[in-house]
Structure 1
């Protein structure tokens, strides 16, 4: 036979006829003492009726005289130490919870409604996969609806399958899927599937103009260069000058090319601009030798800004005395 087990760590004290046993150096809440165990001090024994805390027991009135700081034993024979007793205690707790309707009936994924043979009035049933909830009333399960937290999914997509509680954004507003059947391809604000959660607000009034704000037109021509209107530096307007996106080539809206303005009077335009011109003249005194026949002689030069020019020259030769001319010409060449 298996010997009885006992616990005897520390000491105990109890008054004569007392119902409270206090311990020193003991731990009675770790299973070493249970209601139904037997407390023995000397040759006197008593049933333990309750374990109050780690150092206090409750017993029937003690008949073994006053004891203080004495050795003891707890014989671990309580029915609660046997599997049947533990199971019975657990079942009792479950029965109490069920009677209080604290435990819902769980509906499996392959069921559409709770089992009608389960539950009591006012007890609930829930299907975790869908969030559907029922309550039993008059012996019948009554469907209450779907209770799920919001699941934010971002911008609406026609390829995404949505279910109850899914929240999307579309055109500045947000919507929540309200149809009990999951689905896709139903864009909000389709009221069969979506409920408006938050609507896009109206455009607010314009704020005060800042010191450097620039006010543009309500519309403009694509690729058009902007230009200032008036002299405030805060108003810009559209223009006919177009700038290509990738090449930067200039053109203008409408037909024709870009007119380039030089001088609009009969004078020379600014240096480097269309319409600029320059000239130089010289004269040679009589009797001046032009050098060797067929050899060019520099007569005059003119300085020009970089650019493309039409350049020409004229020479007038008046022979004197016995001089003669043959094949006088003018050569214009750049200086390097």
Structure 2
């Protein structure tokens, strides 16, 4: 192997009697692989290197006996490789001589047997089955009370208890032949074993690692034992004590009349000045706006206050078409029906457009209309509407789908004047154009209503 040339890049400085050598001028002794045992040389003086601190500093084994060196020339002579190898071999022999290798060499291998240490310089083998199939105990029981049935067993008898009373599992050994002389538990699981629900967070409660609490509609799990340290406010999902487990959902929560002292969360619903508002972010002390404004940074209008029974916003018709009087969802087939009913399902109110706003109308026990093959022709598609005929609330149907300025078919409504074309108004489908609706079997049982004046309930015949 070639002899490495002396390293002499840059310059070096060392004080009289000092042990620290500082390099500069481009020297990098770590890149040059300078190590302990190499020799630092200045003119005819040699010093053995004890250690390398970093790329520009090293320590000498003995204090420098020469004159002070300030940014002067130097050499570092590498220790011969033979000496390095000899030292490395000695270290290896010392490591192997601690008994571990001899203990391993003393084992007799066998199929599916795995060596394990039983002490310093001592080894034995254990069956792979014991490692993969769990702990080898004499008996397994569910509770400490069941363990008592084995109090009389001999010393060394072992019992695995699934739940020692706090959710943990543990193994017990008989210490002696004396009845009930059991060892301390050797726990196999932590103090919880699973999430422990602790209900709504309280600053006075001492929580343990793994405890789960509810705070502002979200679930949080403790990452450490903690008392008096609350989970953070969303959108922050963790702090030193808590991790977010499940964020609050986006269902409406009715909170009643707005109160400036109440802390509201996103999707809380309040009433204010007769209108309903939904929170679009958490807020305290920030009131909904004054109408006609329909939103601000904290609230969106959900349903505006109306006049004389009028209601604005998205409302749901509360009735349902049926072929059985008073039954919203029949449970059996109806054959040859002669009457169609619009009966209460989730309530008795139906929103009907009066030309300027949706007005809630009461259907009472329901609406009905007699059917006739003359006017409800088989296989013709028609739409049924709830509408006002003067002061009377009625149920009736519009023209066939084929009618309209642009004719339709059995598969698509016509459009334009005279058609049953629909339009979405405040979340409710209404007639887009003025149409004539039929509410009976007599020739005169018809009424023409303006556009958007009836709400649709579908029925195909």
Bucket of the pairwise TM-score, normalised by the shorter protein: 0.3 to 0.5
Q: Which has the higher contact order (CA 8 A, sep 6+)?
A: 1
The structure where strand makes up a greater share of residues is 2
Between structure 1 and structure 2, the one with the greater Rg is 1
Normalising to structure 2: TM-score of the pair?
0.29
